[in-house]
Amino acid sequence: MADVPDPWIQSSRSSKCTPQLAIQLLEGSNPNQVGATNYLNYAAGVGIHIYPAGAVTTLAATKTAITDYVTPIQNATNTTLPFWITECGYPRARFATEADRYTQHANFINALNQLGFPLAYTLLYTFDNSGGFEVYANGAYLPTSDIFDNYY
C-alpha cells in the first residue's frame, strides 16, 4: 500500500496501521482487547481506498495491483462482505498523456469486473485538493473524464 506522508498524518491528526491490525481491532481479536465485540458481525461491507503505486499500464498488472489490496483483507476477515471502494484513481503526473491516464482508469474498471470479488461501489477520486487527480482543469474537461460516460 502507498505510504501516507508523515506531514499529512500530523496535520490531519490521523494515524495509520496495517490492514491486519485494523481487522483485529474490528474483530475484537487483538491481544490487548479482552472481551471485545466482533464488529464485523454487524458490517454491511468493507470500505477500502485503492491507489496503486506507479503507472500500472496493463490489465494484468492492474489485476495484480488490485488483488494485492483486496486479498489480505479477504483472508483476514474470512468473509464474503462486498467491498466498497470509496476512493480510487491515478494522478496526472504518473502519465505522459491524458489518453494514457484514461486507459489506466479503464484497465482498473475492467480488472474489477474480471476479478469477480464481491463489489458494492467504486468511486473514482477526482477532487483535486492534493494535486493531480482532477478530471477538469482550466475550464475544460480532461480526456480522463470520458471514463464517466463510458463506464459509470
Q: Look up cell 475484537; give the residue.
A: 28
Q: Which of 73, 93, 94, 96 is nearest to 22 (CA)?
A: 73
Using DSSP bridges, classify how beta strands 83-88 and 140-141 pair: parallel, antiparallel or unpaired: unpaired
Q: Look up cell 492534493; give the residue.
A: 130
150, pLDDT greater than 70: yes
Give the tens place of pLDDT for each residue, 53-71. Answer: 777 778 999 999 899 888 8
pTM: 0.78
The beta strands (E) that lie in 42-142 are given as 46-50, 83-88, 119-124, 136-137, 140-141
Give the tens place of pLDDT for each residue, 75-106. Answer: 877 778 899 999 898 888 889 999 999 999 99
Query: What's the CA gap between 126 and 73, in Å, rounded?
Result: 25
Span 110-122, average pLDDT: 91
